[in-house]
Amino acid sequence: MSREPKSTKDLQAKLQLLPDAPGVYLHKNSQGKVIYVGKATHLNQRVRSYFHTGGEKGTKTHALVRKIRDFDYIVTDTATDALVLENQLIKEYRPLYNIRLKDDKQYPYIRISLNEPYPRVSVVRRISRDGARYFGPFTDVGAMRETLKFAAGAFQVRTCHLDLPGQTVERACLDWQIGRCSAPCVDFDTQEGYRAKVMKMILFLSGAGIKVLKELRTEMEEHSTQLRFEKAAQLRDLISKLDRTTSRSRPVAGIRKDCDLIGIARDGQDASGVVLRVRGGHILTTHHFLMSDKLDRDLDAFMAQLLREYYPRAGDIPAEILLSHPVEQPASWQEWLTGLREGKVVFKHPLRGAKKEAVELARTNAVFKLREVNLRRALAQPRKVTPGDIQLQEALDLHSVPETIECFDISNFQGKETVASLVFFKGGRPLKSRYRRFRIKTVRGVDDFASMKEVLTRYYGRLVEKDLNPADLVVVDGGAGQLGVAREVLAGYGFHETQLIGLAKREETIHREGGTLNLARNSEALKLLQRVRDEAHRFAITYHRLLRDRKTTASELDLIPGIGQIKKLSLLHHFGSVARIRTADPLELSEVRGINKHDVVAIRGFFANRPGHES
């Protein structure tokens, strides 16, 4: 990295040294923070264009230029290498002035583990190079669940976690009983027969429903000819089920092969991108992404950002991609996509004919999605953004004002009965329906790190099961150790991008993955964090008190025959303590509501035989 210029003269001198070569440039502000990353075929021309006094730069672009105090650049061999490096640096620095996905979360995928003898289906949030087949990402989690439920059930592919054939069970589970699994775990299906089902499911999820139906009809006729009527009937029912589903998928006029149709629409700072995955001439799935931009850029910049975000995590890339709007340096994009697919990709912006009408369908979907989002936003109760919200965003360098905050606190009493609490704030206010409390089950003694790991694992494991996401900001009570544990757990569940901090009680030091931060004592941002943290601590202490009270009140009275919860509470309410009940005479006991003469005898007899009783 180059030395920071001390003046405009230094900056101008540095501009003159720019090479006429492809590469990536990084604009920085006065603190040395990267605020914009771009690529160029000719670095000298592109970077100098920002500082020319003439030209037609928009007001917002001028705002960016006014903040630039330095820049760095990295020369690459080709424009495609510059594209790849730009993608990496944008993800690393997340610059303020680059276009961003508004909901930059880990979307789920359907995974089929082909590297196992008996493949199974599961839902994951990251693609790995592990020999499995992935379908997604699904921006509509409900649609993904419906697809998974139908496909796994129709083809009777297992969703369990058994390590077959090593692990065995005594009998088939409920999925087999209701016809959703062929139960290879108890040898009700052969490995060859089961794998054939899996391959048909993959074909179906890939959009080759017509081919699957043709194979199933041929198989049904063979079973019928050989008088295996029960098997033929099962296939007949499956064909009927698949036929209904396949017929509902919309055909695209003029498109016969596999392709992606990508459309962009914009309204002010916001834009909507839609990817229509067309397989076999029919729309298989629709993915929708919202984006925002702090500069006045054209739609080609939004298209480039959508390509940059979507395809590195796409479950499959077709041989043809059609765009509603062109992008700069299309040859570089085509070369990059060809490398991702490991096969040739044709990359087009059609101007006429059936393909032009097809991408217009994607663009129209993008327009309607953006209108729908804007309408929901208008109907929603507007939230008043406080100074604390803004300060917190700026101090922690968050992508946006944190609408939701989760805070975890670990508490123990004299090294015993370790508990934890989770409080949830939305719009700066407690949302008590999302509060949670935990009793530590696996940790002995005082070990805050292990306790934090247990709580976070339990909580975020449940979120994943319910297809929910963490809050905009996750706060853990503690320092670097607790922060490290939290990042490990969140990353393990695929929540790599979650904003996370630790807040130590004594010094009120904020621990971040990039280092520590201390806010002024009168800072509104610190006051907001303290309010959240103190509420988590209060909730944990309240839980502690409840457990101790239960233990106290549950002591000896629970051992008296015939004295249940209601009578126990009546006795405690009347006398105030177990010690007072112990010394009460029969007349005093009979005056307690709900206590009959048999109870009086039982109570007196019980305490008469206890150590320390005075006759």
pLDDT by residue (tens digit) across 295-322? 777 888 899 999 988 888 887 889 999 9
Give residue 615's pLDDT band: very low, low, confident or very high (50, 70, 90): very low
Domain residue ranges in the chain: 8-98, 109-248, 259-379, 388-550, 554-608
CATH architecture label of 388-550: 2-Layer Sandwich (3.30)
Q: Using alpha carbons, select from 422, 396, 391 the residue that is nearest to residue 407.
A: 422
Query: How far is the C-alpha of 393 from the C-alpha of 383, rounded, in Å?
Result: 16
Percent of the chain past pLDDT 90, that is, above it, reads: 22
Find out whether 491 and 466 touch, Cβ atoms under 8 Å. Answer: no
> How does DSSP classify residue 113?
-
Q: What does pLDDT average to over the chain?
A: 83
Owner of token pair 């989770």: 422
Determine the pLDDT at residue 4: 47
Q: Which residues contact 547 (CB under 8 A, 6 or more apart)?
A: 417, 419, 439
* 384 pLDDT higher than 70: no
Helix (H, G, I), strand (E, B) or coil at 247: helix
DSSP string across 299-336: HHHHHHHHHHHHGGG-S---SEEEESS--SSHHHHHHH
Q: What are the two backbone dihedrals, phi and then psi, of residue 107, each rounded to the nearest 5 degrees?
A: -75, 150
Percent of the chain past pLDDT 70, that is, above it, reads: 89
Mean pLDDT of 167-174: 84
* 514 pLDDT higher than 50: yes
Determine the pLDDT at residue 403: 85
How far the first Cα of the chain sits from its last, in Å, is 88
Bridge partners (DSSP) listed for residue 303:
none
Give residue 436's pLDDT band: very low, low, confident or very high (50, 70, 90): very high
* CATH hierarchy code of domain 8-98: 3.40.1440.10
Task: Return the H-helix or E-strand segment holding 34.
Answer: strand 34-40
Helix (H, G, I), strand (E, B) or coil at 33: coil
pLDDT digits (tens, 9 = 90+) for 413-433: 655 678 899 999 988 889 988
Give residue 2's pLDDT band: very low, low, confident or very high (50, 70, 90): very low
Mean pLDDT of 47-52: 85
Give residue 23's pLDDT band: very low, low, confident or very high (50, 70, 90): very high
* pTM for this predicted structure: 0.52
* 54 pLDDT higher than 50: yes
Owner of token pair 């008996």: 118
Query: How far is the C-alpha of 357 from the C-alpha of 74, rounded, in Å?
Result: 40
Residue 551 vs residue 165, higher pLDDT: 165
* CATH hierarchy code of domain 259-379: 3.30.420.10
Could you say which of 3.30.1360.200, 1.10.150.20, 1.10.3720.10, 3.40.190.290 is the CATH number of the domain covering 554-608? 1.10.150.20
Q: Which residues contact 422 (CB under 8 A, 6 or more apart)?
A: 406, 407, 408, 434, 435, 436, 437, 438, 455, 459, 536
346-355, 435-444, 564-573, 593-602: which has the minimum mean pLDDT? 564-573
25-29, 166-170, 331-335: which has the minimum mean pLDDT? 166-170
* 363 pLDDT higher than 80: yes
pLDDT digits (tens, 9 = 90+) for 174-224: 888 887 888 999 888 899 989 988 988 888 777 766 677 777 788 788 767
Give residue 406's pLDDT band: very low, low, confident or very high (50, 70, 90): very high
Give residue 1's pLDDT band: very low, low, confident or very high (50, 70, 90): very low
Taking 3-state DSSP, the helix, strand and coil percentages for the chain, each rounded to the nearest 5, stand at 45, 20, 35
Q: Is 152 exposed, middle or buried (0-12, 13-18, 19+ CB in 10 A)?
A: buried
Does this chain's domain 259-379 share its CATH topology with 388-550? yes
